[in-house]
Structure 1
Amino acid sequence: MSYGKLFLVGTPIGNLKDITLRALDTLKSVDIIAAEDTRQSIKLLNYFEIKKPLISYHKFNEMERGEEIIRKIKDGKSVAIITDAGMPGISDPGSVVASKCIDEGIKFEVIPGVTAAITALVYSGLDTTGFIFKGFLPRENKDRKEFIEDIIDRRETLIFYEAPHRLKKTLSFMKENLGNRRISICRELTKLHEQILRYSMDDAICYYENNEPKGEFVLIVEGKSLEDIEKENQKIWEELTIEEHIKKYISEGLSKKDAIKKTSKDRGLPKSEVYRYSLDI
């Protein structure tokens, strides 16, 4: 039996002209298009005069509709999955069906497109050599606290999505837990009212005290600075004796020789002086 094929197709995040020629060719060639919101996707398809059967595929029917899509592919049909905007599987439905295809040995193809996270990261002017994409923050405070503790000490640039009605609360939460870091707030990317704000966390909170958030947001937050890490380490070291400092590094797996060397560097002391405190260790 010859199977059909699944296509995960990236679509524009705002400006319809950002669609790729390959995406258009794919949408025109498949048998069925599975859309996150058929009412939204029909606008895109009508704009490019694409007439194909549409079925809904969203987070509330992802499991059962995913099984249906797999059955159609096994029957020889080709299916394209699209979301309201951007890449399927990135904070949107798509990854479940892709995983099912892998489990069942069904081929699928990813058709690249615009992604809001990367577009915003480049706009931000912050470090792009290392970044962590975290999507939407959990809604419950307990879950948020656990979520933020996992990344609070990371030096990579942090990327989040947020809805307008939760933006103010999220900015306050970030300031409280991450400090007054630099943040780039990207709104309505590629659309008519696109806006890029580059602030400190304090200034961002102040701005939205006088401006009501509208549209969809991508937040790009500066990672923890080396200076802040060194300040925190300095505070820890000040609370330890030199002997305790050496023992701390040994407990972390360093040899005694390397622990002395690190302690010497941390405290700005000669190794010979630090060595005297290691004699009884």
Structure 2
Amino acid sequence: MSTPNEPGQPGQPGQPGEPGVLVLAGTPIGDPSDAPARLGAELAAADIVAAEDTRRLRRLARELDVRPAGRVVSYFEGNERARTPELARELERGARVLLVTDAGMPSVSDPGYRLVVAAVTAGARVTAVPGPSAVLTALAVSGLPVDRFCFEGFLPRRAGERAARLAEVAAEPRTLVFFEAPHRLGATLAAMAEAFGGERRAAVCRELTKTHEEVRRGPLRELAAWAEAGGARGEITLVVAGAERAPARSADPAELARRVADREAAGEPRKAAIAGVAREAGLPKRQV
């Protein structure tokens, strides 16, 4: 008689009565050969495969020359709320559930977050098969700073709501990454030029890793004009430079000294007081 295998590995269920495993698997964003090596093993081992589009999942499985052994069910925006409890119950019974989306990592502007929360609540293990990401790929090829960035996903479709969201991040110094549909790209770039300034640098990354991949870089005003002329089709990821920091302000030395002294009198260590005042004043600590 074989001994039970360690839970969490493909094809190796946990002990009877133990909660199951939820596996979030990355899928190619374009080129099928970018599929993670472990994806085929997970497809062959899962009790249930929850896919954003079951037809695309079966096409990918054929390209990987693997046949899903378990039940394949749809899990997309329209049924995510209703299907999550069903999958959570299967996890409670010890099932191995594999979650895949059409492209990239689940939960990143795609279904998955609700199921992860439900799995954690059920005591199931949550793990991942890391894979391609349009966000990181676009950042890498954009030519814009990548040391600090934030992902904003899709902007609101309505012009007023979109303008309000862009106003919220206009002063953000980190590089910004957005997803957008091609038919809204021109309006979005024009709104960005209005909110951020037409000279703000950006990159439109189109059809990443696919045959017609294109990365178009330039000021927002130029990119907006290009897009309005019908320049973009396919999957779009936008990368926009962060706001430039305002130049350091000067301040009255006596006022700075008083503010540091007030912090020290309140019990704050001198170095911490200096750092706090420098942060508030927008000045280097050395100057304070």
Q: TM-score, normalised by structure 2?
A: 0.79
Deviations 1:26-72 (A, max 9, x none): 11111221100112222101212332231000111111111111112
Hey, which of these two has a bigger chunk of helix by percent? Answer: 1
RMSD: 2.9
1:32 paired to 2:48: yes
1:159 paired to 2:159: no
Equivalences for residues 66-215 of structure 1 within 5 A:
66-179=84-197, 180-215=199-234
Match of 2:25 in 1: 9
Query: Which of 201, 206, 225 does residue 244 from structure 2 map onto?
Result: 225
Task: Provide runs of 4+ in structure 1 moved above 4 Å.
Answer: 257-260
Q: Note the C-alpha offset of 1:148.
A: 1.7
Unaligned stretches of 5+ residues in structure 2: 1-16, 265-272
Match of 1:276 in 2: none
Q: Note the C-alpha offset of 1:76.
A: 2.6
Separation in 2 of the partners of 1:141 and 1:210? 20
Mean Cα deviation higher: 107-116 or 208-217? 208-217
Give the letter for the 2:163 counterpart. K
Match of 1:51 in 2: 67
Q: Percent identity?
A: 35
Give the letter for the 1:219 counterpart. L
- Equivalenced residue count is 253
Match of 2:270 in 1: none
Are the equivalent residues in 1 in contact too, given 2:134–2:237 (CA < 8 A)? yes
Q: Note the C-alpha offset of 1:254.
A: 7.6
For residue 163 of structure 2, give the secondary structure of its aligned residue in structure 1. helix
